[in-house]
């Protein structure tokens, strides 16, 4: 024990001596220099973002089972058409920063999971829940901003029905070994209406309605928006790929 303490004290002395001999510039990083990105005003996309939906049409979207997206379009937003099915981006993504705005109907109908229900699926697989959770009790890991059936949000930050709400989602995709086994789980951070509600949480796998989550190897996949039968609207969707 005495020898260990002497060795530890010696290491501390060496580190202290090295620190005393260092100059400020010895710990400065000049290269590479971070690239310049011009921030957007308010919720407008930054200069390096890909705009997925600006209200003008479905050029970046298609039906999840192929073919044209058949949701309703108007007033700068797209709205779920009941029975039309999920839609997805034509482009596939992995690690990303996703900004998306959504609105549940101003006329309240139903309760729990039957009220303003939709969902945002990263890589078509991992759902961030969209729901009217304003004065609407449901299971906590199924309310708005939950990672569906896995992580309840830290707080309920929902605005009243009919008001536009914002998700800023930061997503780290899972990594798989060549044999398909999991090398690193996925992680998600979610900011709901400016409030942190998911703080770099680890996903346990996909987000099924019934059953336990599991991982199945995949690469980059589209972002999918859910038709759950409720007329939920979306607007101002943009993404930054984090490579």
- Please give the backbone phi and psi of residue 27, each rounded to the nearest 5 degrees, phi first: -115, 15
Is it the case that residue 42 has pLDDT exceeding 90? Answer: no
Question: Which residues make Cβ contacts (< 8 Å) with residue 168, sequence separation at least 6?
Answer: 97, 98, 99, 190, 191
- 68 in a structural domain: yes
Sheet holding 126-130, edge to edge: 61-63, 87-89, 224-225, 118-122, 126-130
**Assigned domain for 3 exists:** no
Number of domains in the chain: 1
1 domain-assigned: no
Q: Is residue 152 part of a domain?
A: yes
Q: Structural domain of residue 44, as residue ranges?
A: 30-241
Sign of CA dihedral 64, 67, 72, 75: positive
User: Nearest to residue 120, comparing CAs of 229, 202, 224?
Assistant: 224
Cα gap 208→159, rounded to integer Å:
26
Specify the CATH number for the domain of residue 125: 2.60.120.560
| 21 or 64, which is more confident | 64
Instruction: Quote the CA–CA distance of 213 and 207 in Å, as a whole number.
Output: 6
Residue 98 lies in a domain: yes
Q: Which residues pair with 184 in a beta bridge?
A: 175
**pLDDT tens-digit profile of 55-82?**
999 999 999 999 999 999 999 999 999 9
Task: Tell me the per-residue pLDDT of 151-185, one tens digit each, with 9 for 90 and over.
Answer: 999 999 999 999 999 999 999 999 999 999 999 99
- Alpha helix locations (H) across 137-186? none
- The terminus-to-terminus CA distance of the chain in angstroms comes to 48
Residue 9 lies in a domain: no
- Residue pLDDT, tens place only, 217-231: 999 999 999 999 999
Integer angstrom CA distances of residue 63 from 56, 99, 192: 17, 21, 27
Domain assignment present for residue 21? The answer is no
Q: In the numeric block, which tokens belong to residue 94?
A: 């992995």
Contacts for 161 with CB less than 8 Å, ≥ 6 apart = 104, 105, 106, 107, 108, 116, 132, 134
Q: 11 pLDDT exceeds 60?
A: no
- Tens digit of each residue's pLDDT (9 = 90 or more) over 109-160: 899 999 999 999 999 999 999 999 999 999 999 999 999 999 999 999 999 9
Q: Domain for residue 107, yes or no?
A: yes
Give the C-alpha separation, 118 to 104, whole Å.
Answer: 9
């Amino acid at each position: 024990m005495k020898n260990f303490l002497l060795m530890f004290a010696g290491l501390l002395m060496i580190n202290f001596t090295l620190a005393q001999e260092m100059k400020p510039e010895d710990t400065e990083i000049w290269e590479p220099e971070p690239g310049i990105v011009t921030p957007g005003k308010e919720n407008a996309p930054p200069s390096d973002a890909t705009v997925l939906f600006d209200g003008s049409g479905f050029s970046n979207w298609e039906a999840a089972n192929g073919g044209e997206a058949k949701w309703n379009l108007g007033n700068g937003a797209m709205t779920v058409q009941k029975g039309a099915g999920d839609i997805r981006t034509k482009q596939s993504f992995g690690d990303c920063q996703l900004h998306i705005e959504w609105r549940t109907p101003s006329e309240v109908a139903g309760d729990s999971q039957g009220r303003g229900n939709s969902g945002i699926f990263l890589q078509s697989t991992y759902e961030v829940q969209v729901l009217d959770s304003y004065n609407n009790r449901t299971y906590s890991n199924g309310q708005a901003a939950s990672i569906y059936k896995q992580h309840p949000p830290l707080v309920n930050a929902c605005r009243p029905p009919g008001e536009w709400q914002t998700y800023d989602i930061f997503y780290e995709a899972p990594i798989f070994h060549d044999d398909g086994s999991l090398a690193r789980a996925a992680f998600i951070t979610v900011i709901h209406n400016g409030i942190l509600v998911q703080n770099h949480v680890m996903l346990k796998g996909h987000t099924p309605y019934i059953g336990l989550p599991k991982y199945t190897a995949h690469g980059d996949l589209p972002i999918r928006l859910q038709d759950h039968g409720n007329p939920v609207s979306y607007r101002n969707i943009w993404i930054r790929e984090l490579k």
